Amino acid sequence: MFLLIVLLFCFTIFAFVVTNKGAGEALAGKGYKEYRLGDYNTWLQKRVNKNWPRIRSCLQDSQICKHLIEQGATPLGQFNKETLSALQSGCCKPPDECKFTYVTPTNWTGTAGSTNPDCTAWSNDQKVLCYNCQSCKAGLLDNIKSDWKKEAILNIIVLVFLIIVYSIGCCAFRNNREDNAWKRYP
Ligand SMILES: *[C@@H]1O[C@H](CO)[C@@H](O)[C@H](O)[C@H]1NC(C)=O
């Protein structure tokens, strides 16, 4: 049980360290936030980079961009007010700084106004969109981050409980031994 407490404690510390950094950036006049891979923990970045081909095919099969694709030609003013999830913001539209011309949420024209590699990674093809973008990885990490944070908080509650049970158990064991010792050697 002591080993379990130590392991859980180490994992909890690790989870807090890993989820310490990174948050979406609010943009002036937009309802959605944008996400940068560089803002997140480097260990998580490496993991997500290494496994990206597999994660990407999963995201492409999922329905995360469906809502935006089906929305069609919403007026730009209305699209700007939308609150998008981290994955939708990162994977389904080009980053704001590319300054593309809006047609629909998943169809943008014009030449990139930024050297951000995500601007060249973007494609209007519904199978491609921004799934190759760094912002898409950042959106995923933002999800992982909030899940791990919740997990770490739950861990602390479990840890406190385990430590209480362990302390009571230890006390009882010691008292019992002292009692027996006293009985055996009066
Ligand atoms: C994007 O919009 C342009 C202009 O309306 C249109 O010609 C093009 O077919 C659209 N592309 C996609 C992938 O929907």
Q: What is the pLDDT of residues 5-28, one digit of tens each?
A: 999 999 999 999 999 888 999 998
Look at ligand 1, atom 6, and give the residue with the nearest C-alpha: 107
CA of 107 to the centre of ligand 1 (A): 6
Name the residue at shortest CA distance from atom 4 of ligand 1: 103
Q: Rounded mean pLDDT of 64-80?
A: 91
**125 CA → ligand 1 middle, Å:** 9
Check pLDDT > 60 for residue 151.
Answer: yes
- Give per-residue pLDDT as tens, 80-118: 999 999 999 999 999 999 999 999 999 999 888 888 999
Intra-chain end-to-end CA distance of the chain, in Å = 33
Q: Tell whether the model's pLDDT for residue 178 goes beyond 80.
A: no
Ligand 1 centroid vs 14 CA: distance in angstroms? 46
Closest CA to 8 of 161, 146, 141: 161
Residues within a 6 A CB radius of ligand 1 = 103, 107, 124
Q: Cα(131)–Cα(123) distance, rounded to whole angstroms?
A: 9
Distance 84 CA to ligand 1 centre (A): 22
What mean pLDDT comes out for the span 56-64?
93
Q: Whose CA is nearest to atom 5 of ligand 1?
A: 103
Give the model's pLDDT for residue 174. Answer: 83
The confidence band for 1, taking pLDDT boundaries of 50, 70 and 90, is confident
Q: Which of 65, 124, 129, 130 to mutate to test the pocket of ligand 1 (most atoms within 8 A of CB)?
A: 124
Whether the predicted pLDDT of 136 surpasses 70: yes
Structure tokens at 133: 């973008």
CA distance 160 to 90: 38
The answer to whether 32 touches 83, Cβ cutoff 8 Å, is yes
Task: Provide the pLDDT for residue 172.
Answer: 86
Retrieve residue 5's tokens.
Answer: 């407490």
Q: Position 127: which residue type?
A: K
The Å distance, Cα 136 to ligand 1 centre, comes to 22
Q: Are 136 and 142 in contact (CB under 8 A)?
A: no
At 39 the pLDDT is 94
Please say if the pLDDT value at position 66 is more than 80: yes
| 162 neighbors 8 (Cβ within 8 angstroms) | yes
Residue 35 contacts by C-beta under 8 Å, 6 or more apart in sequence? 22, 24, 25, 86, 89, 90, 135, 138, 139, 141, 142
